[in-house]
Amino acid sequence: MRDQPALMPVVAWVCLLLSWQATAGELPKGILTLDGRAAPPLLLENMDGASWDISAARGHWVFVHFWATWCGPCRREMPTIQSIFPQFDPQQLEIVLINVAESEDTVFGFLASVAPDIVPLMDSDGLVTERWQPRGLPATFFVDPQGKLRYLALGGRPWDTPAYLDFIKGLISR
């Protein structure tokens, strides 16, 4: 009995390690862990003409999503982003859509019916997207509260399904 207190730190450490391994092993399909380098600059205007700067988004996670209307997987994925959009407090997770080099009419023609709650940022010449180097479209980066790139979602993902919702909730609860 007297040995138990001495074992407590070891038990706690083992539990922590197992918990970390479980978390690391439970990434949903198509989510890659990144190396934590600083997110590239991102300063764009949205379709209302308001500027958004990622450097002002410290202190919470940011879901940075690159897309275009001509990309089939982007179109299939977008309703799932609209579905999760109201579920997260922007003070914990800010969802940011970046349209790649399309006109306002094209973007509005699609997004108004599919994701009307989200006012997209417009990368009008596509150069900001090229600096971020996504592995194709669509692509979603998760930027941590310190402005570091932590995860990348490959292609379109069903964000409104439990595996992905749990993953996001796990991030913001850290």
45 touches other proteins by CB under 8 A: no
Exactly one of 32, 59, 87, 161 binds other proteins (CB under 8 A); that residue is: 32
CA distances from 19 to 13, 27, 54, 128 (A): 10, 13, 31, 37
3-state SS class at 32: strand
Question: Quick one: how far is CA 13 from the chain centroid?
Answer: 30
> Is the Cβ of residue 31 or residue 172 nearer to other proteins in the bound state?
31
Exactly one of 104, 146, 162, 166 binds other proteins (CB under 8 A); that residue is: 104
The window from 8-16, 33-41, 72-80, 164-172 that contacts other proteins (CB under 8 A) reads 72-80
113 touches other proteins by CB under 8 A: yes
Query: Token pair for residue 22?
Result: 């479980």
Find residue 152's DSSP bridge partners.
Answer: 32, 141
140 touches other proteins by CB under 8 A: no
102 touches other proteins by CB under 8 A: yes
Per-residue DSSP letter, 55? G
CA distances from 41 to 76, 94, 130 (A): 28, 16, 11
The residues, any chain, with a CB within 8 Å of residue 118's CB and separated by 6 or more, are 81, 82, 85, 95, 97, 111
Exactly one of 108, 145, 148, 169 binds other proteins (CB under 8 A); that residue is: 108
The window from 1-9, 57-65, 104-112, 161-169 that contacts other proteins (CB under 8 A) reads 104-112
4 touches other proteins by CB under 8 A: no
Residues found near other proteins in the complex (CB under 8 A): 29-30, 32, 46-49, 68-73, 75, 100-106, 108-110, 112-113, 116, 119, 124-127, 129-130, 135-137, 154-155
